[in-house]
Amino acid sequence: MRTASGTGVDPAALGFRPRDLVFIADPYPAYAELRAAGRIIHNPETEQWIIPHYEDVNGLLRDRRFGRTYLHLATHREMGRPEDPLFTAAFWHLIRNGILDMEPPDHTRVRRLVAKAFTPRRVQELRPTVQRLMDGLIEEVLGAGEVDLISTVAESLPVTVIAELLGIPEADRHHLRPWSAEICRMYELNPTEEDGRAASAAAVEFSDYLRELIRERRQHPTEDLIGGLVQVIDQGDRLTEDEMIGTCVLLLNAGHEATVNMTGNGWWALYRNPDQLERLRADHSLVPRAIEELMRYDTPLQMFERWVLEDVEIHGVPVTPGQELALLFGSANRDPAAFDRPDELDLGREPNPHMTFGAGIHFCLGAPLGRVELETSFGTLLRRAPHMELAAEPEWKPNYIIRGLRELRVRL
Ligand code: HEM
C-alpha cells in the first residue's frame, strides 16, 4: 500500500541492495518500487532516510535545514553521532577542507575563489585544448583493433584536462587515479576499517604531495590554478593552506571520477539502445542533448547524503538533527512525475532537468567542464570511429554511490 512516509517498508525487500551486483547492474526497478512505497523510507541497514522522488531530492538539496556537514554548528557528540575513528583522521581532515564538505560562510568564501576558473565562459575557452587532447587520444586507439574504452580514452581525457588546469606536472599525473580511487572508497555505504585506513593513507600522500608543490610554486610562480591560489593564501586571510589542499584534491578527484564513469555508462546505454545510437550516428548535432539524456538515464553518481540540521517534518515524518538523508539521484532521474516515459532513452529529450549535477549551493562547480569533455569525447568518437562496436558485455565495479563499469571493450 502506498503511504506518504513508507513507514514499515523494508527497502531491501523492495530490491534496494547496494552491495548486490544484480542491483548495481540495474537499480531502476528497485527505485520504482521505492517511489511507489512512499516519499521517505527508513533504511535500517544504514540508519538513513531514503528519498526517492524527484521533487523531494530537488527541494531538499536547496533547503538549508540540511547540510553536507553539521560540524559548522555542533560537535559529533552534540549531534548524537560517534567520534570519527582515529584511523580516518587524515581522510576527514582533507575532505572537510574541501568545499563539498563545507557549509556557509566558509563554503561561500572558498567556492568564490575557485569558481572563476570554471565559469561557462572560461570553460568554453578550453574547448580547443580539450579537442586537441582528444584528437591525440583517438590517434592512439584508431587501428588498435579491440581496446578498453575506459582505460584508453574515458580516463585519460578528464585526468589530463583537470591536471593541466590545476598545474600538476605531467610526470606526477599517474598518481591521481590511484589516490582518487582509494579516497573514494570512503564514499560507499558502510565503509570498512580497511577502506578507512586506505583512504587515510592516500589522503596523507596526496596532501604531502600538494604541500610540496605549493612550496615550489611560491619560489617559481605559475599561471595555473594552483599558482593563482598560492598567491591568494599569501595575500591574507581569504584561504588557508589546508583549505587550498582540500579543495584542490576535491577538484582533482571530482574533476575526473564522474566523467570517466559517465563515458562508460553512456556508451553502454547507447549499445543497449541501438535505435538511439543510429539516430545519433545519423545526426551529430544531437550530441549536446544526447549527453544530457545519457546523464539522466544512467548517472554515475547514484546517491548523495545530507545531514538534518534542525527539527523538520518531511511528508509528515519528523526528522531530527544528526539524522541522515540518502537522496537517490538515480531514482529522481527516472521519476515519471518529472519525465515522460522515464525508462526510455530519448536522445532528443527536451527539456531535461535531470539531477545529475545536483542542485542548491553545492551544484557541481565543474558542470560546464564536464559537459565540454563529454561532448568532445562522444563527438570525436562518433566522427572518427563511426562504426565503433561493442566487443564484450561489460561488468560493473562493485560500487553503488560512484557507479561505473570495470572496462568497456570495443572494436574501432
Ligand atoms: C559528468 C561529470 C560530473 C558529474 C555527474 C558531477 C556531479 C556532481 C554533483 C552531483 C555534485 C554535488 C554533490 C552534492 O550536492 O552533494 C558535484 C559537486 C562538485 N563537482 Fe562535479 N560532477 C561532474 C564533473 C565535475 C568536474 C569535471 C569537476 C571539475 C572541476 C567537478 C567539480 C565539482 C566540485 C568542486 C563540486 C563541489 C561543489 C560545491 O560543494 O560547492 N565536477 N558534482
What is the number of the ligand 1 atom nearest to the C-alpha of 373?
27
Name residue, grid cell 526528522: 319
Asked if 364 contacts 299 with a C-beta cutoff of 8 angstroms, the reply is no
Written as nine digits, the cell of 271 is 549499445
Domains and CATH numbers, the chain: 11-411 (1.10.630.10)
252 Cα to the center of ligand 1, angstroms: 11
**How far is 365 from 254, CA to CA, in rounded Å?**
9
Is pTM, for the whole model, over 0.85? Answer: yes
255: amino acid identity, one letter: G
What pLDDT shows up at residue 4? Answer: 58
Residue 386 Cα to ligand 1 midpoint, Å, equals 30
Whether residue 266 contacts residue 272, with contact meaning beta carbons closer than 8 Å, is answered with: no
If you search the block for the grid coordinates 541492495, which residue do you land on? 17
For residues 88 and 186, the answer to whether their CB atoms sit within 8 Å is: yes
Q: Which atom of ligand 1 is closest in space to residue 306's alpha carbon?
A: 16
Residue 190 pLDDT: 82
For atom 43 of ligand 1, the residue with the nearest CA is 364
pLDDT of residue 6: 65
> Ligand 1 centroid vs 396 CA: distance in angstroms?
22
Q: What pLDDT shows up at residue 251? A: 94
Ligand 1 atom nearest 370 alpha carbon: 27
DSSP category for residue 321:
T
Q: CA 183 → CA 194, 243, 257, distances in Å?
A: 12, 17, 11
Q: If the chain, 412 residues long, is cut into consecutive pieces of 10 residues, what is the mean pLDDT of each piece?
A: 65 97 98 98 96 98 98 96 95 97 96 92 93 97 94 95 94 94 89 95 96 95 92 85 95 93 98 98 98 98 98 97 98 98 98 98 97 98 97 96 97 94
Using a 6 Å cutoff on CB, does residue 325 contact ligand 1?
no
Which mutation among 99, 364, 365 tests ligand 1's pocket best, with the greatest number of atoms within 8 A of CB? 364
Q: 400 CA to middle of ligand 1, Å?
A: 17
Alpha helices in 185-326 (DSSP H): 193-219, 225-235, 241-254, 257-272, 274-282, 287-297
Cα separation, 27 vs 371, whole angstroms: 25
Q: Is 165 in the pocket of ligand 1 (CB under 6 A)?
A: no
What is the CA(100)–ligand 1 centre distance, in A? 8
Which residues, including other chains, have CB under 8 Å from residue 5's CB and lie 6 or more apart? Answer: 38, 39, 40, 41, 315, 316, 317
Q: Distance (Å, rounded) from C-alpha 401 to C-alpha 304?
A: 8
CB count in 10 Å sphere of residue 278:
11
